[in-house]
Amino acid sequence: MSARVLSGKELAASVRTEAAERATALAAAGRPPKLAVVVATADESSAWYVRSIARAAEKAGIACDVVDLGAEADPARIRDRLAELSADDTVHGVILQTPLPRGAKLEDLAGAIAVEKDVDGANPLSLGRLAAGLPAFAPATAEAVVAILDHHGVDLAGLHVAVVGRSTVVGKPAAHLLLDRNATVTVCHSRTRDLAAITAVADVVVAAAGRAGLITAEHVRTGAVVVDVGTNPTEDGGLVGDVDAIAVADKAGALTPVPGGVGPVTTALLLRHTVQAADRG
Ligand code: NAD
């Protein structure tokens, strides 16, 4: 058996086109949408990700300001800058890029991002609203997991989904979104005993641990759907997911690729969120 490839490229392209159309209309109405990305790291893969957001925004007609505070930035300065951008009427979306300087915690600093501009769902209030079933921007990666399954016709109602990872940016919000879609969700993490025993009975496995090759054929039930969120840089400058794609493709029914799966959908959803925020603002 060779798993169906659940590409994110077509979905991402249609979300980007829709965002670009909305951005054009907003600009014509005198409200050109703008995204601000606050960076406080010298991390190379983070820089690559920020460049790809800026490029995608520009192509969609969304202005993108990268506010680089330097890898040594003081947490108080980061917080102040986020508050300033939140108060700026010309800015509609604010993202705080990770990793952060030592001693700075995303969940803490992101509290300074106004909820209505929190297009990557980083403010704990956004996560709380999401958990309570209230309107809020979800972290784009978590939303991308559900969006890619929807796009490929996977009806989540009643399915057992094992989410591997419990971060506030991916695992936890993904679990809430999946619960909202009536899936039965098990959240696994680094202290889970016998991971394979849990994932191998799931209908869908969402791998979001940031560990290359963590999910092997042994972790997957025959015919299961596997969503690979992981992005792990390789020594030769490439990118691999958390799933041993070659072994798992022989057993799973469907698998998202890395690259070309969750990643492009994540970036496209950030653009969608930004025009939605501009629409409301
Ligand atoms: P994180 O380090 O904050 O969290 C990782 C989680 O995985 C933790 O909850 C930890 O308990 C769990 N974990 C670690 N080792 C494990 C193990 N051996 N078994 C079970 N669980 C384990 O990472 P994150 O920010 O949630 O990101 C996860 C992955 O998703 C990373 O590879 C990251 O690069 C990727 N990511 C991709 C996108 C995208 O757009 N595709 C966006 C954000 C993050």
Mean pLDDT over the full length of the chain: 97
- pLDDT recorded at residue 1: 64
Residue 158 CA to ligand 1 center (angstroms) comes to 25
Nearest CA to 165 out of 103, 243, 266, 99 is that of: 243
Residue 64 CA to ligand 1 center (angstroms) comes to 26
Residue 236 CA to ligand 1 center (angstroms) comes to 21
Whether 173 is in the pocket of ligand 1, judged by its Cβ within 6 Å, is no
In this prediction, residue 281 has a pLDDT band, given cuts at 50, 70 and 90, of: confident
Nearest CA to 40 out of 90, 104, 86, 92 is that of: 104
> Can you tell me the distance from the alpha carbon of 59 to that of 103, in angstroms, rounded to the nearest whole number?
35
Q: Ligand 1: which of 96, 97, 168, 231 to mutate, judged by most atoms within 8 Å of the beta carbon?
A: 231
Strand, helix or coil for residue 184:
strand
Strand, helix or coil for residue 207:
strand
Q: How far is CA 91 from the centre of its chain?
A: 21
Q: How far is CA 33 from the centre of its chain?
A: 21
- pLDDT recorded at residue 100: 97
Plot region of 83 (φ>0 → left; ψ -120 to 50 → alpha; else → beta) = alpha
Whether 86 is in the pocket of ligand 1, judged by its Cβ within 6 Å, is no
Whether 169 is in the pocket of ligand 1, judged by its Cβ within 6 Å, is yes
pLDDT, tens digit (0-9, with 9 covering 90-100), for 101-112: 999 999 999 999
Which residue CA neighbors atom 41 of ligand 1 most closely? Answer: 263
Which residue CA neighbors atom 5 of ligand 1 most closely? Answer: 209
Whether 166 is in the pocket of ligand 1, judged by its Cβ within 6 Å, is yes
Q: Read off the tokens for 194.
A: 């016998």
pLDDT, tens digit (0-9, with 9 covering 90-100), for 149-199: 999 999 999 999 999 999 999 999 999 999 999 999 999 999 999 999 999
Helix, strand, coil shares, percent, the chain, to 5: 45, 15, 40
Nearest CA to 69 out of 45, 93, 101 is that of: 101
In this prediction, residue 86 has a pLDDT band, given cuts at 50, 70 and 90, of: very high
Residue 237 CA to ligand 1 center (angstroms) comes to 19
- Amino acid identity of residue 83, one-letter, is A
> Can you tell me the distance from the alpha carbon of 55 to that of 188, in angstroms, rounded to the nearest whole number?
35
Report the DSSP pairing between strands 232-233 and 239-240: antiparallel
Residue 73 CA to ligand 1 center (angstroms) comes to 25
Q: Ligand 1: which of 11, 46, 170, 273 to mutate, judged by most atoms within 8 Å of the beta carbon?
A: 170
Strand, helix or coil for residue 221:
coil
pTM passes above 0.95 = yes
Atom of ligand 1 nearest to the CA of 98: 25
Whether 142 is in the pocket of ligand 1, judged by its Cβ within 6 Å, is no
pLDDT, tens digit (0-9, with 9 covering 90-100), for 210-265: 999 999 999 999 999 999 999 999 999 899 999 999 999 999 999 999 999 999 99
Residue 264 CA to ligand 1 center (angstroms) comes to 17
Whether 121 is in the pocket of ligand 1, judged by its Cβ within 6 Å, is no
Whether 101 is in the pocket of ligand 1, judged by its Cβ within 6 Å, is no
Strand, helix or coil for residue 260:
coil
Whether 167 is in the pocket of ligand 1, judged by its Cβ within 6 Å, is yes
